[in-house]
Amino acid sequence: MNAVGWDDLIDRHLARQAVERGLSPHSMEAYGRDLRDFQNWCRAKNLHPEQLDAAALTKYLEALADRGLAVSSQRRHLASIRGLARELVDEKIIERDPAPAIKLRPHPRKLPRTLSLADVANLIDAIDVTTARGARDRAMLELAYGCGLRVSELVGLQLQQVNLSAGVLVVFGKGSKERMVPMGGAAMRALKQWLERRDEIVNPSKVERRAKKVLPKRVTAVFVTRLGRAMTRQGFFKALKGWAAADPRTSWISPHTLRHCFATHLIEGGADLRAVQEMLGHSDISTTQIYTHLSKSHLRKVHRTFHPRATRTSTREGTIA
């Protein structure tokens, strides 16, 4: 079988993944990129699908390491290939799945960097809400932090997914899984203020110039741009960096940092891990457990507050403990 075989197999595999797992376009793009990289390596080595085995996979991973890819990136590539390998077994192109025999060295999981409660408050309060753009950006930050939304969930939010009277959002996460996320008072107030001004942000003159005098169809996305189109991931990233740039304590953040802050601050406040898992939309609680990295100062505070012998002055005879 020649390299065309890889083309057909990978195209069929990606199409099946999109249907069966309901993966987002962003995830599908990442899978496709990894598999095309693997296909190019196979073509250079003249490796046909029926020749795929553990030795070939090991050589491919070694090639990735030689290119300077970290172990975490190698794991991602291997995860993409695993699904394809299982499909080769199902189609009887190979007899045995080679992926289980591959063992990558363990690596410490990088802990997410977060902001303090004060830094989050300062970041949000710095936004000028006298303009429609500011009202939009404030609402986006409040929802990202107050509801723990992924950036794709935030920019993809539709008007029909918002229930202000009940104080909840209906969110479609990875694999199009639906979940209900409660909104806090600050997020609800910011969102309500934005929705009242949503139509103000569109600049008709710019829309007409861009669309040759034809106004765009009214979009149902909650967050829109001056061109009347749905906000994009890149657009939110740019807006966030603009507001954060003035303070060195926040200038490094990304949209996902706000999701990290949401989970970390909930757990530090005593929230149940299972409840946080549900709100984040994690299918496996081990993914949520990374947020149990509490700061030393927080641990000392908890110990000092709740342990009966944690105070410096003993309750007995006034001696020092």
For 303, phi and psi rounded to 5 degrees?
-60, -45
Residues 158 and 222: beta-carbon distance below 8 Å = yes
Q: Is 282 a catalytic residue?
A: yes
Q: In terms of residues, how long is the chain?
A: 321
- Of 117, 129, 140, 130, the C-alpha closest to 241 is 140
130 contacts: CB under 8 Å, gap ≥ 6: none
Amino acid identity of residue 282, one-letter, is: H
Q: Model confidence at 304, in pLDDT bands (50, 70, 90)?
A: confident
Q: Model confidence at 300, in pLDDT bands (50, 70, 90)?
A: low
> Which residues face 201 on adjacent strands?
none
The model's pTM: 0.65
Residues 35 and 84: beta-carbon distance below 8 Å = yes
Choose the catalytic residue: 150, 198, 260, 265: 150
Q: Is 13 a catalytic residue?
A: no
Q: Does domain 117-288 have CATH number 3.30.470.10?
A: no
Number of other residues whose CB lies within 10 A of the CB of residue 68: 7
Q: What is the distance between the alpha carbons of residues 295 and 310, in angstroms, rounded to a whole number?
A: 18
For 172, phi and psi rounded to 5 degrees?
-105, 110
Give the tens place of pLDDT for each residue, 97-135: 998 888 776 655 667 888 999 999 999 999 999 999 999
Number of other residues whose CB lies within 10 A of the CB of residue 56: 15
226 contacts: CB under 8 Å, gap ≥ 6: 133, 201, 202, 203, 206, 207
Is it the case that residue 44 has pLDDT exceeding 90? yes
Sign of torsion over alpha carbons 226, 228, 234, 239:
positive
Domain boundaries, the chain: 3-101, 117-288
CATH superfamily for 3-101 is: Tyrosine recombinase, N-terminal domain (1.10.150.130)
pLDDT at 122: 94
Q: What is the distance between the alpha carbons of residues 251 and 184, in angstroms, rounded to a whole number?
A: 25
Instruction: Provide the 3-class DSSP secondary structure of residue 182.
Output: strand
37 contacts: CB under 8 Å, gap ≥ 6: 77
Radius of gyration of the chain (CA): 25
Q: Is 59 a catalytic residue?
A: no
Q: Is 303 a catalytic residue?
A: no
The mean of the pLDDT values for the chain is 85
Choose the catalytic residue: 256, 274, 293, 298: 256
**Averaged over 61-89, what is the pLDDT?**
89
Q: Is 174 a catalytic residue?
A: yes
Q: Is 67 a catalytic residue?
A: no
